[in-house]
Structure 1
Amino acid sequence: MQWTKVVAGKNSHKLTSLKCPLCKYCINQDFEDGFVLSKAHKYRLQCYYTEPGCLSDIFSVQRYWKSHRYLQPNRWLQSWLRREIQALIQEEDVDIIMHHILGTIDSFLTRSKQQSQRKTPEAVREEFQSLASDAARPFLAARTDRFVSEVELFLASGLNIEAYDAVYKQRLGWSAPGVTSEAEGEVSEHQHTPVIPYLYIFDEEYDEND
């Protein structure tokens, strides 16, 4: 799918927007009077400027696929995707994009439940990455690959958004262990899972002698 620039009538004046041919969704690129990023959005945007893999020793994406945990629904994915996309394109109304990506993931997972015995975990993961990338690339462009990696990491964590944020910030040195920040509180008023130091709960194969 290709982006097309919108051109106004006889003057050939280029508007400050892009239109997606998939859903005819216009993304306004003039942010002066538009969406204001919250602290939570800014934190997630900053994560895309850090080195990838900073949580790979805490959340094993490979084990997530090998253990078939991808067959279990994740009730926080929709909210997490919405916030992630809002941060990346700096727009508030991203529901069309979010539902397109979420629908792609959900359809893939539904099919995978029927085919889980016929495909290797590696093949399932490759298919997921390919489909998720194709769904996100028209909207996220150069950040697509990192976005897909972040989606995998969030799914592999098995955590709600608040707890996931706490672990991410702790690893990056942005907050103290076990502290719920104001930014984290903005994510969802319905999340009540307590934040517990990650070393004791997040890696089921954690060895205290390591």
Structure 2
Amino acid sequence: MMAEDGRNMMEPKSSSSDPNPCPICLGPITQDSYLDQCFHKFCFNCIVRWTNTVASKHFCGPTSVKCPLCKTENLSIIYGYDGSSFQQHYINRDLRISEFFSEAHRYRLKCYYIEPGNLADKLNVLSYWKSHKYRQQNHWLHDWLRREIQAVTQEEDVDVIVHHILGVIDSFRRDEVKHSNISTEMKQEAFKLLVSQAVGPFLTGRSGRFVNELELFLASGLKIDAFDKVYIKHLGWKIPEISKEEEESDETPEHEPAVPYLYILDQDSDDN
């Protein structure tokens, strides 16, 4: 198989002018691309060919591939990032035809690759803790957690993880009453640590970001669809399925009582 410059892709190219060459072709990286779990960087063509070569050695094509550098399992290749959007090439899998992986799932997955900016200030996260709203139940939390975990893991059956997280949150809420002498800041940090430890085995490096996204949702006091609209409006994204009603009004949806994080990710074929 020949590289774009006419040489075999495995033939080393001069890297003297580039201190961080592509680990596969050893030449300057063209079309920056990253594996989605370990974030190691490669040329797009090099890493796609690598994954295709690995897949060809299996009777049933795998839906993940080990990084050639660190051996971490990865589900997709992130490329074409322009500061606000990017494309995603899945390993031997096309989520466009999946019954569960919706446009909303894609939007939430993308949030994990882009910083939310000052959204915590807009959603009054500190007020959420200082006013003790964390003691209240959120009736939309189960559904939000299910979609969030599905988006991040790209797996449909996540009920065990969701119930585990809900159990940790309920336990925190019950125990919090026993520790009224602890400062609000300490309670906030204790909550985030507990949830991070609970999701760590499932989300690994994305655990910290997940906790922050969970905190944003809880602090917003919004239903899932309203939260989505606020989030994408804040980031300046355009998602037809979610943005439709938002175009009719520039007002932030009102918070509802909780008591009893674009151009959609493009799926590319393997023709690169």
How big is the shift at 1:33?
Answer: 7.3
Residue 182 (str. 1) matches residue 234 (str. 2): no
Match of 2:206?
A: 143
How big is the shift at 1:55?
Answer: 0.9
What residue ranges of structure 2 are gaps of 5+ in the alignment? 1-61, 64-74, 76-90, 256-272
CA contact (8 A) 1:82 1:98 kept: yes
Match of 1:86?
A: 150
Q: How does 1:1-210 map to 2 (within 5 A)?
A: 32=93, 35=98, 37-115=101-179, 117-175=180-238, 181-183=240-242, 197-198=251-252, 201=254
Aligned residues with identical type, % of pairs: 50
> Structure 2-normalised TM-score?
0.54
Structure 2: distance between partners of 1:63 and 1:97: 28
CA contact (8 A) 2:105 2:150 kept: yes
Structure 1: distance between partners of 2:219 and 2:117: 13
How big is the shift at 1:52?
Answer: 3.5
CA contact (8 A) 1:166 1:175 kept: no
Query: What code does the residue aligned with 1:137 have?
Result: G
Distance 1:151 1:68, change over 3 A: same
What SS class does the counterpart of residue 56 from structure 1 fall into? helix
More helix by share: 1
May I ask how many residue pairs the two structures share in their alignment?
Answer: 163
Flag the structure with more relative contact order, 1 or 2, with Cα contacts below 8 A and sequence separation at least 6: 1
How big is the shift at 1:79?
Answer: 0.5
CA contact (8 A) 1:162 1:184 kept: no
Match of 1:206?
A: none
What residue ranges of structure 1 are gaps of 5+ in the alignment? 1-15, 18-28, 186-194, 203-210
> Structure 1-normalised TM-score?
0.69
Distance 1:140 1:31, change over 3 A: farther
How big is the shift at 1:111?
Answer: 1.3
Q: 1:78-97, CA deviations, whole angstroms, 9 ceiling, x for partnerless residues?
A: 10000000000001110001
Match of 1:9?
A: none
